[in-house]
Amino acid sequence: MPDIDLAQTSVRELNAALHGLPGDSNETLWKVRNPQGKHAIAAGLNFPATVEIEGPVGYYCAGMNCLGTVIVHGNAGTGVAENMMSGEVRVMGDASQSAGATGRGGLLVIEGNASARCGISMKGIDIVVKGDIGPMSAFMAQAGNLVVLGGAGENLGDSIYEARLWVRGAVKSLGADCIEKEPTAEERGALKTVLQRAGINGEAKAEDFRLYGSARTLYHFHIDNVGAY
Amino acid sequence: MCGIVGLFLKNKALAPELGSLTAKMLKMMSDRGPDSAGFAVYGAGEDDEIKLTLRIAGATGAFAAAFAARFGLPARLTQKSSHAVLSIPAALEAEVRLWLAGEYPGIHLVGAGTRMELYKDVGLPGDVADRFGLPAMRGTHAIGHTRMATESSVTTDGAHPFSTGLDQCLVHNGSLSNHNAMRRVLIREGLAFETENDSEVAAAYLTWRMREGASLEQALTASLADLDGFYTFVVGTESGFAVLRDPIACKPAVMAETDDYVAFGSEYRALAVLPDIEKARLFEPEPARVYVWEH
C-alpha cells in the first residue's frame, strides 16, 4: 500500500503518481499523511483506487474525481469534490464553501457541516450532509439530490433548475423560484437509495425529509418582468 | 486574491511567541499575496506615550538630532529596516505630527498608538516579516496581510494594514465598489487619506464611527449598510480584535479558537502552524455577522 507523507512529498508528485496508475494496477489503497490543508490533494483521480487522507485538506480536494474513493479524516476547504464525475468522496469533519460544486455524478458525504454554497450548480451528483449546510446552497442547481440531515441556511436553492433538495431540519429561507414540493413515491424511493448508498441506516428515514425544488417560473422570460431589465 | 492572518492571544504566556507565530502564518499565505505584505503588532506601551511608526529612508541620525533640537528631548527611535518607531510623550502628539508634516514630507507616518506598531513593504511576505524582525516581536495580538493588488498599484502605500486612528488598523481581502463616494463623505468629516486605496476608506470609516462614539462592534455593524463590495475585514484596536465578512461571504475565512488564542486565516493552511490546532474549535465566520474579541 503506497503511504505518502506530504511533509516529504509534494502534492504534485502524489497526484502524478495517482494519475499514472495503469488500468490493471493493484495499487488500489493509498494512504496520505500530513496534508496540512494543502490544495488539490487527490484531484483528477481517474482510477478506482481508495485514497485515505489523514488530516485536514485545503481547496478542491478530490476535484473532478472519476471512479475513485477519497476519504478525508479531517475538515475540507473550498470546493471539495468539485465537478466530481463518479466515485465517492467522504469528509469525516466539516466542509468549507462550494462542496460538490458543479458535480456531475458520484456521491459526496459530509459527516459534519458544510458551509455556504454547498452543491452550487450541481449537475447530477448526490450530496449527503449529516450536519447543517450554509447560506446560498444549491444555487442554480440542475440535477442530483442534496440531502441534509440538519438544517439549511438562507436562500436555499436560489434560481434552481431541477435538482432535488431534501432537508430534515429547518430551512432559514428559500431563494428565488425555490418551493417546497410534495414528493412522489418514486422521488422518496430515490432518496432512500441515496441514504443507503451513504450508509445511513436508522439514523434518518426517508419520510423525515421535506423536498424543495424548482417552481419553474424562471425557465422562460415573462413579458410582465420586462421593466426589471 | 489576498491573504489575511490574525492572532489574538487569550493566554498571556504566549506573548513571547506572538511574532514568530504570526510570521509563520503570514509566510504560509504567500501564494495568496506575493506582491507585498504588512502587519500590525500590539505590544508593550505606556499610557502617557505614543509610538509613531515612520517609514523613513536611509540613516536616521540627522533626523534624531533634529527632533532632539526641536523638542528638547532625546529621540527614542528604534529602526527596523525602512521603518522606525519613535516614542514620544502623548501630550506632544499633535505638535510632532505637525513638525513631521512640515519638515519631513518624505517621511510617512504609517501608524500611531500607545501599543500598536505597523510595518509594511513590497516583497514576498516571508522576506517582509524577516526584514522587520517580526519573529522576535511580542505582544497580545497581531494582524497581517499578504497582498495581490487589484484596485491600486503595488506600492508600500498600497500595502495593508491601513491605520487611520490611534491603535486602529484594518486589513481587507476583497474590493469595495463605493469607496470613492465614501471617501468624499469621510473627507467632509475631517478624515485624511494617504492613498487612493479602497481599503483605506474602510479603515477610515471605522475610525469615523468610533470617533462619533460607536464601539468597534457598532462601527462594523454600521459598515454593513454603508460599505458596498466584497470584503473580509480583520480589525485591530488597542484591546480588540474583530472580523466581518460581506453578506454573501465572497472572500474566504476560517477561524480557530482555543483556551489560549483566537486565530484567523484566509485558509486553514495558515492556521495549521499554530500550537494545539488539532484541538481547536474550527469555524467559518458567518456572512454579515460581526465577531469581536476584547482583552
Starting at the edge strand that comes first in sequence, how are the strands of the sheet with A178-181 ordered?
Answer: A3-5, A29-33, A50-54, A69-72, A88-91, A107-110, A123-129, A143-148, A164-167, A210-214, A178-181
Rounded to 5 degrees, φ, ψ at A140 are 55, 30
Reported pTM: 0.92
Per residue in A110-121, pLDDT tens?
999 999 999 999
Per residue in B150-176, pLDDT tens?
767 888 988 999 999 999 999 999 999
Nearest to A37 among B248, B249, B272 (CB): B272
Per residue in A38-97, pLDDT tens?
999 999 999 999 999 999 999 999 999 999 999 999 999 999 999 999 999 999 999 999
| Close Cβ partners of B286 (under 8 Å, ≥ 6 residues apart) | A134, A135, B245, B249
A224 lies in some domain:
no
Mean pLDDT of chain A: 96
Q: What is the pLDDT of residue A188?
A: 97
- Whether A79 and chain B come into contact, CB under 8 Å, resolves to no
Distance CA A96, CA A79 (A): 7
Q: What is the pLDDT of residue B150?
A: 73
Per-state percent for chain A, helix, strand, coil, to nearest 5? 15, 25, 60
Contact yes or no for A36 and B272 at CB 8 A: yes
Say which residue the cell 469534490 belongs to: A81
Say which residue the cell 508600500 belongs to: B156
Per residue in A124-159, pLDDT tens?
999 999 999 999 999 999 999 999 999 999 999 999
Q: Which residues pair with B241 in a beta bridge?
A: B236, B293
A33 lies in some domain:
yes
- Domains of chain B, each with CATH number or no CATH: 3-44+125-294 (3.60.20.10), 45-114 (3.30.70)
**Strand, coil or helix: B214:** coil
Contact yes or no for A37 and B268 at CB 8 A: yes
Longest dimension (CA), chain B: 55
A47 lies in some domain:
yes
Distance CA A173, CA A152 (A): 8
A103 lies in some domain:
yes
- CATH number assigned to the domain comprising residue A200: 2.160.20.60
Q: Which chain A residues have a beta carbon less than 8 Å from that of B287?
A: 116, 135
Q: Is B288 exposed, middle or buried (0-12, 13-18, 19+ CB in 10 A)?
A: middle
Distance CA A82, CA B168 (A): 39
Q: How far is A185 from chain B (nearest CA, A)?
A: 36
- With a pLDDT cut of 70, the percent of chain B lying above it is 100
- With a pLDDT cut of 70, the percent of chain A lying above it is 100
Count of the separate structural domains present in chain A: 1
Average pLDDT over residues A220-228: 85
Q: Which chain B residues have a beta carbon less than 8 Å from that of A94?
A: 282
Going by C-alpha positions, the residue among A172, A134, A124, A132 that lies closest to residue A149 is: A132
Q: What is the pLDDT of residue B58?
A: 82
Distance CA B39, CA B231 (A): 18
A196 lies in some domain:
yes
A15 lies in some domain:
yes
Nearest to A58 among B249, B269, B284 (CB): B269
| Close Cβ partners of B97 (under 8 Å, ≥ 6 residues apart) | B109
Residues spanned by the domain of A136: 3-218
Contact yes or no for B269 and A135 at CB 8 A: no
- pLDDT bucket at B29, cuts 50 / 70 / 90: very high
Residues in chain B: 295
A116 lies in some domain:
yes
Q: Which of B1, B2, B171, B274 is catalytic?
A: B2
Q: Which chain A residues have a beta carbon less than 8 Å from that of B24?
A: none
Q: Which chain A residues have a beta carbon less than 8 Å from that of B248?
A: 116, 135-136
| Close Cβ partners of B272 (under 8 Å, ≥ 6 residues apart) | A36, A37, A56, B28
Q: Which of A78-92, B31-45, B117-131, B140-154 has the lowest mean pLDDT?
A: B140-154
A159, A179 contact by CB (below 8 A): no
In total, the C-beta contacts within 8 angstroms joining chain A to chain B are 39
Q: What is the pLDDT of residue A221?
A: 85
Going by C-alpha positions, the residue among B79, B72, B60, B155 that lies closest to residue B117 is: B79
Contact yes or no for B284 and A59 at CB 8 A: no
Going by C-alpha positions, the residue among B272, B245, B34 that lies closest to residue B147 is: B34
Please give the C-alpha separations between residue B291 and each of A91, B21, B217, B253, B267, in angstroms, as whole numbers: 27, 22, 8, 12, 18
Q: Which helix (H) or strand (E) holds B16?
A: none
Distance CA B2, CA B29 (A): 8
User: Is the ipTM of this structure higher than 0.95?
Assistant: no
Distance CA B144, CA A189 (A): 52
